[in-house]
Amino acid sequence: MKRILITGADSYIGTSLEKWLEKYPDKYTVDTVDMKGEGWRLKSFAGYDVVFHVAGIAHVSSDSKREALYYKVNRDLTIETAMKAKFDSVKQFIFMSSIIVYGDIHSSLGFIDRHMIPTPNNFYGKSKLQAEEGIMKLASEEFKTVILRPPMIYGKGSKGNYPKLAKAAQKLPIFPDIDNERSMLHIDNLCEFIKLIIDNEEDGLFFPQNEEYVKTSELVKTIAEAHGKKIMLTKIFNP
C-alpha cells in the first residue's frame, strides 16, 4: 500500500489522478492538500511515499504584472514543497512541469526527448524550468525526483486550449487551415503513466506524449464531425 499526497486541491490533473488511483483501493491511499495560504506548511508530509506536485499557475500569460506571481507560485512554491517533502522523508517527489519549457514547439523539431535543450520564451516556461532545476538539486538515493513534461492534455472536463478548440469546432463554419502540428496526450494515458512511475519508483525526466503530432485544423475538423457539424478549412487567413 502506497500513500500518495497530491498538492493543489481541485486541480484537473490532480483530481483525475486521484480518481484513477481510487480504482485500486488495495494499492493506494490518496490525500490532497490545498496550497493556497499558509495552512499547508503546518501539514506533515511524514508517512507519505509520494508527493505529486501539480499545484501552480497552469497557463501562459503575457501580462508583465503577473510575472512575479508566476515565479512565486511555479518556482518558489514548488521548490519549497520539494524541500519539505525531503525533510519529512517522502520517498518520491513528482513534479508536473510542461512542454512549454521548450518554447514554441513544431513538428519540424521531431519527437521530444531528453537530448532536446529547453528554450522557454516566456515567464511561464522559465518559471517551470527553474523549478525543475531546483528540484533536481534535491535528488538522492533516498529522495527520488521525477520531472514530467507533458503536452496539451485533453479529455472529459479538461481545461486550457482543448475545450476552446472544441467550442470553436461546434460553432464556427470555417477554420484556418494552418500548417502547424502539436503534441497531445489524453488524461487517462497521463494518469496511467503516472501510476507506472509510482509503481516502479522511477526517478528522472519524462516526456509522456502521443507518437504522432496533430494539426490543429484537423483536430477541430474531427471534433466538429463528432458532433455532427461540418466545418470548412481554408488557407485564406494564413499569413
* Residue located via cell numbers 488511483: 21
Q: Exposure of 138 by Cβ count < 10 A (0-12 exposed, 13-18 middle, 19+ buried)?
A: middle
Which pLDDT score is estimated for 22? 96
Answer whether 182's CB lies under 8 Å from 105's CB.
yes
Phi, psi values for residue 223, rounded to 5°: -65, -45
- Which residues in 156-189 are b (16+ Cβ under 10 Å) and which e? eebeebbeebbeebeeeeebbbeeebbbbbebeb
pLDDT in tens, 160-172: 665 666 665 566 6
Position 121: which residue type? Answer: N
Phi, psi values for residue 101, rounded to 5°: -65, -15
Compute the C-alpha angle 143/147/109, nearest 5°: 150
What is each CA distance from 27 to 24, 41, 44, 142, 187, in whole angstroms? 5, 27, 22, 21, 21
Answer whether 114's CB lies under 8 Å from 127's CB.
no
Q: How far apart are the first and last CA of the chain?
A: 55
Answer whether 182's CB lies under 8 Å from 209's CB.
no
pLDDT in tens, 122-157: 999 999 999 999 999 999 999 999 999 998 888 777
Domain 2-153+184-211 has CATH 3.40.50.720: yes
Q: Can you give the pLDDT of all 239 residues of the chain as single tens digits?
A: 999 999 987 889 999 999 999 999 999 999 999 999 888 999 999 999 999 999 998 777 777 888 999 999 999 999 999 999 999 999 999 999 998 898 876 444 556 777 888 989 899 999 999 999 999 999 999 999 999 999 888 877 766 665 666 665 566 666 566 666 667 788 999 999 999 999 999 999 998 876 666 666 666 566 666 666 776 666 665 55
How is the chain split into domains, by residue range?
Answer: 2-153+184-211
